[in-house]
Amino acid sequence: DSFHLKGSSLANGSLNLHSTVKRKLDGEKDYVFDKRLRYSVRQNESNCRFRDIVVRKEDGFTHILLSSQTSDNNALTPEIMKEVRRALCNASADDSKLLLLSAVGSVFCSGLDYSYLIGRLSNDRRKESTRIAEAIRDFVKAFIQFKKPIVVAINGPALGLGASILPLCDIVWASEKAWFQTPYATIRLTPAGCSSYTFPQILGVAL
């Protein structure tokens, strides 16, 4: 699998890339997000303390599944990132030997939910921008500071922050349907998740 830089330009201050990628995800038959599977997983769980993730205690490890009910294609919002941080904190203190991270549906993670974030900015830009920045920083820090091994199973597309956190994990297994996209330059953003450091280490400076 390789990393691809794709996207559309910004027009009239609006972000077109998210909608372009969303159409691509929704339009490809193999990658349609199966919400029935998400609800099936939830019905079998006794632990419903989380809204957008499912946490399973397995024999010897903790399994976290991204299972967003509030955004499309497991996109990340500050609330979802907070839930993942809380699950990581719990797993760091329990008797599990490692953490397994995967996703329900056929998309692993479509990165930050830009439409959600832009909508929130219309209220109080300074306050909301600070809250979003802190949520992303704390989310990434939780992966860096987690002391047990993190194994990630990528079942489909991983975009933006959903791809850039992967080098912070110990083992990443990708299925044949997985693909990765980090369009930070295209949408005028600084690379997230420490990827400006980790990607050159793994992929080489030229790539």
Structural domain including 82 reads 47-203
The answer to whether residues 142 and 99 touch, using CB atoms and an 8 Å cutoff, is: no
> What letters, b where the CB count within 10 A reaches 16 and e where it falls short, cover 11-22?
eeeebebbeebb
pTM score above 0.85: no
Query: Looking at the domain assignment, is residue 12 inside a domain?
Result: no
Query: Looking at the domain assignment, is residue 31 inside a domain?
Result: no
| Both structure tokens of 8 | 């559309």
Interhelix angle for 114-121 vs 125-145, to 10°? 140
Query: Looking at the domain assignment, is residue 126 inside a domain?
Result: yes
Integer Rg of the chain from CA: 17
Query: Looking at the domain assignment, is residue 26 inside a domain?
Result: no
Query: Looking at the domain assignment, is residue 198 inside a domain?
Result: yes
For position 172, which CATH number holds? 3.90.226.10
Query: Looking at the domain assignment, is residue 139 inside a domain?
Result: yes
Query: Looking at the domain assignment, is residue 169 inside a domain?
Result: yes
- 15-25 confidence digits (pLDDT tens): 455 555 656 66
Query: Looking at the domain assignment, is residue 64 inside a domain?
Result: yes
Q: How many domains does the chain fold into?
A: 1
- 155-190 confidence digits (pLDDT tens): 999 999 999 999 999 999 999 999 999 888 887 888
- 72-114 confidence digits (pLDDT tens): 899 999 999 999 999 999 999 999 999 999 999 889 999 998 8
